[in-house]
Amino acid sequence: MSRPPIVGKVLQRYWRLSRGLTMGVQGAVIDKDDRILLIRHTYRPGWHFPGGGVERMETVETALARELDEEACVAMRGKPELFGIYANFRLFPNDHVALFLVRDWQQVRTPAPTFEIAEQGMFARDALPADINAPTARRIAEIFDGAPRAHDW
């Protein structure tokens, strides 16, 4: 059963303000041709890596697997590689994001748009969407171009 987008926004704000530290996970899902899976949410602008919050009593890898499944119907076949942990203080105090590289995966099916995910796509490095989220674009440059890794998301 899906919840209306406003409920998700309210819960997200509550979680971030009521916890001393919050942790999120995002997955750079990369295919054999080095194309990157990106998603566009219904509640925030731009294209992003799939991901979300780590829930209570959940490991970051379990959260990553759950979020990839929920947002993109992607199942990891191998162990993801931790690429970096970033501070996301610009939006919420004490928030961190763990970014994983996911190269061994399969998409069980192409998901239909939902209340949370408007669309998804696989993008070549030279054909990224014009409205890609700036932190996502910076992470892609770090992954593929050897750009210096930032501390902040």
| Model pLDDT, residue 1 | 45
| Model pLDDT, residue 113 | 83
Residue 65's nearest CA partner among 26, 118, 36, 38 is 26
Residue 49's nearest CA partner among 60, 34, 39 is 39
Extents of the domains making up the chain? 5-145
Question: Is 18 a residue whose pLDDT tops 70?
Answer: no
Residue 36's nearest CA partner among 98, 147, 121 is 121
Tokens representing 116 are 């949370």
Worst-scoring range by mean pLDDT, 51-55, 86-90, 135-139?
86-90
Q: What fold is seen in the domain 5-145?
A: Nucleoside Triphosphate Pyrophosphohydrolase (3.90.79)
Q: What is the overall mean pLDDT for the chain?
A: 90
Worst-scoring range by mean pLDDT, 25-34, 39-48, 108-117, 126-135?
108-117
Residue with more model confidence, 4 or 33: 33
d(CA 110, CA 116): 15
Question: Is 3 a residue whose pLDDT tops 70?
Answer: no
- φ, ψ for residue 38, nearest 5 deg: -125, 150
Question: Is 12 a residue whose pLDDT tops 90?
Answer: no
pTM listed for this prediction: 0.85
Element (DSSP H or E) covering residue 151: none
Residue type, 121: G
Provide DSSP, 67-103. Answer: HHHHHH-EEESSPPEEEEEEE-TTTSTTEEEEEEEE-
Provide DSSP, 29-47. Answer: EB-TT--EEEEEESSSSSE
SS3 state at 118: strand
pLDDT (tens digit, 9 = 90+) per residue, 74-110? Answer: 999 999 999 999 999 877 778 899 999 999 999 988 8
